[in-house]
Amino acid sequence: MTEREGSSLFGELGRMARTSGAVTGIAARVAGERFLGIKTDQAKHAEDLKSVLGNLKGPMMKVAQFLSTVPDALPPEYAAQLAELQSNAPPMGWAFVKRRMSGELGAEWQTRFASFGHEAVAAASLGQVHRATLPDGREVAVKLQYPDMPSVIEADLRQVKLAMGLYAKLDNAIIQDEIYLELAERFREELDYEREAAQMRLYSAMLAGVPDVNVPEPIAGYTTRRLLTMSWLKGVGFRQWLEGKPSQEARNRLAAALFRAWYVPLYKYGVIHGDPHLGNYQINEAGGLNLLDYGSIRVFPGKFIKGVLDLFGATRDGDFARAKAAYQVWGFAGISDEQVEVLNDWAKFLYQPLMEDRVRPIQPGTGTEFGREVAAKVHEGLKRTGGVKPPREFVLMDRSAIGLGAVFMRLGAELNWCRLFHETIDGFDEAEMVARQQAALRAAGVPAAQ
């Protein structure tokens, strides 16, 4: 499928008309604060922005969620509001459900279910979920893609590109070309629910035997490019679970499950789940993790994973030359020694908990703005030295590290992160990892990236 297949020009233009005010508004306010000293009511504008993006659904909301996890990318008022977006997309009605289901499974689709809930039980950025029962009694979650999503994707990507272009004129610390390309490719992949079903099978295989992590099973014959049916997992949302004041032991157990759910696939298979957003997992009755969404998945070449581990070793040992070589393997081409020093501050921040063989929080303090102070220092250093161009592979790695770190802080988890980390990396062999990765991708039927 080409990037424009299935999209409509009128759909894109209408979408852009509704979002342009939100995009240019936030850019103007940030610019006014930074360069002109104009004080604006950021809290009020953040509420307006959340309302616009939440009602629109689509990748613009996903970008907002992403930005809310990146320290120093937005003022705190914006980050706090945008972090809540997963529950603010209103569902489509029964008329849409009947049209979508008829289009995907045929006019007699209701005869293929013993029951099918008329009301959506969850509404997200690209689709909504209904609870249903199959004739054999299995309970399932049925995710239906919203109408005209190819047009929505393209319109929102144009706005994202516009916003990035505006920001680039204000700030040269991060050259964003590769970041945009990575986001665009991942968003377009998320339109394909058959791909997501394959990635779900991949995660089921990679996490087999990992304690306290549950992966739903896609249901054959009930899944198409715009419809995904999977086994129903019982659980409650992250915030609801925390409201029940779980014990420290329960918090630590969940944090360990989250750590393994992200990093066992990364270091054993070179695969990362790029969306550690609170709406993408639940806590089940046993206190384990239900990992629900598999649309944003990144597969890395073996040399990149080796570069990640080389940077860890260089950071631990204070080896400047090895660190610079690792950044170059990652794809940071042509960086200066001074820029390496700046980037090392970020690496030290992320790797520090993994280097201390003791029980500790992921970072000191109880706030949820994980890394904001360090990010501001790194940002200023990169701006002073002329800016860097992060490679595409960096985007979801950084997002996952920061997103998970923020969750660990909200949990108040205290674990031996060093031992958890070495549990996943000890015995790493690049060739073996690549062979394991390719075998798992083939078995799950995951198509190659476009």
Helix (H) or strand (E) holding 143: strand 139-145
* Per-residue model confidence (pLDDT) at position 328: 94
pLDDT category at 349 given cuts 50, 70, 90 is: very high
Q: Is pLDDT above 90 for 67?
A: no
| Helix, coil or strand: residue 298 | strand
In the predicted structure, residue 41 carries a pLDDT above the cut 60: no
Q: Are strands 127-133 and 139-145 parallel, antiparallel or unpaired?
A: antiparallel
Q: Decide: 346 and 312 in contact? Cβ < 8 Å.
A: no
Give the Cα separation of 182 and 58 in Å (integer). Answer: 17
Average pLDDT for the chain: 84
What's the confidence (pLDDT) of residue 17? 44
Query: Which residues are 281's β-sheet partners?
Result: 291
Helix (H, G, I), strand (E, B) or coil at 122: strand
pLDDT (tens digit per residue) in 184-200: 888 889 999 999 999 99
Question: Which pLDDT does position 361 carry in this prediction?
Answer: 95
The whole-angstrom separation of Cα 448 and Cα 450 is 6
pLDDT of residue 15 exceeding 80, the answer is: no
**Per-residue confidence (pLDDT) for residue 403, from 0 to 100:** 83
Give the whole-angstrom CA distance, residue 275 versus residue 390. 19
Instruction: Report, as an integer, the average pLDDT of 3-30.
Output: 47
pLDDT band at 78 (very low <50, low <70, confident <90, very high): low
Say whether pLDDT at 2 is over 50.
no
- pLDDT the model gives residue 1: 39
Q: Can you give the pLDDT at residue 319?
A: 98
Kind of pairing between the strands at 213-214 and 289-291: parallel
Convert the pLDDT of each residue in 350-376 to its tens digit: 999 999 999 999 987 655 556 667 877
